[in-house]
Amino acid sequence: MNKTFPSNTFLAGATGMGLLLMAFLGFYGEMFVRTRLIQSTDLTLTLQNLQASPALFRSSIATDLLVVLLDVLVALGLHLVLQKHTPHLSLLAATLRVVYAAIYGAVVVFHVILAQLLSAPEAALQAPLISMLLTGYRSGWQFALVFFGFHLLALGVAFIRASQLPTFLGLLLGVAGLSYLADSLAHLLLTDPAPVRALLLPVVALSGVVGELSLCGWLLVQWRNGSRALNMRTPSTQP
């Protein structure tokens, strides 16, 4: 029996669907769960919220793990879609996204431990440890986003350098990557990052949503239209 490798248009559709699913899962975990339960300025209220809604909090852990898995699959899908155009850059971008996913997956352990502590009767006595776990998750996620920012930069350069791919999308991804990098490095390196991050937050949110959803939309359009451009090698010596 002859086996054929999935076409680039099929891979584009699958990768686009993966990105779309990740967007929904990420929105649920961050906006519907963590934003509602975790109050960064009030540990007592946070502890009360978490103890009152343990199942809701655990559901955010499940979505985090699904996002990590999808990140790895999306990294592979993007590399396979783009390798005919910019093999080295697409491999670099995929590697950076896998590194991001690996760090993020490790960071989720902070919330797994926290969920276990919440079920203990003396949870209120563990407030310092719970605070450390919450901080560890948030700081670890910011560290992981440094690699995600570099991933978007590499992806943006790949789109800009490949003549068969839309340059405007590369620019959007590049701006999003720089925004993630600036925000994450401010969080990790500045002693008082709040003023800088307050200025960066709208830029990060807008550029991230526009860049990543544009990539998702472009991939789905290529799949829907059966685009030949994805199956054509860019005629250049670009990496």
Mean pLDDT on 78-89? 93
pLDDT-derived band at 6 (thresholds 50, 70, 90) equals low
Neighbours of 121 (CB within 10 A): 6
Q: Please, what is the average pLDDT of the chain?
A: 89
Kindly state whether residue 101 falls inside one of the protein's structural domains: yes
Structural domain boundaries enclosing 171 = 8-231
1: in domain: no
Determine contact, residues 131/102, Cβ cutoff 8 Å.
Answer: no
Asked, for residue 114, whether it belongs to a domain, the answer is yes
CA 11/CA 74 separation, integer angstroms: 10
Domain annotation covers residue 163: yes
Q: What is the tens place of the pLDDT at every residue in 211-228?
A: 999 999 999 998 888 655
Q: Is the pLDDT assigned to residue 30 strictly greater than 70?
A: yes
The CA distances from residue 52 to 86, 119, 217, in Å, are 50, 11, 39
In eight-state DSSP terms, residue 8 is: H
Radius of gyration of the chain (CA): 20
pLDDT score of 234: 52
For the chain, what's the residue count? 239
Give the global pTM: 0.89
Q: Which of 82-91, 96-105, 189-198 has the highest mean pLDDT?
A: 96-105
- Whether 236 is in a domain gets the answer no
What angle is formed at CA 207 by the lines to CA 201 and CA 212, rounded to 5 degrees?
125
Is residue 189 one of the residues assigned to a domain? Answer: yes
- Report the alpha-carbon angle 75-80-81, nearest 5: 100
Domain count, the chain: 1
Q: What is the pLDDT of residues 158-198, one digit of tens each?
A: 999 988 899 999 999 999 999 999 999 999 998 888 888 88
Written as one string, the DSSP assignment of 83-136 is: TTT-HHHHHHHHHHHHHHHHHHHHHHHHHHHHHHHHTSTTGGGGHHHHHHHHHH
In a domain, 44, yes or no: yes
Q: Is residue 119 part of a domain?
A: yes
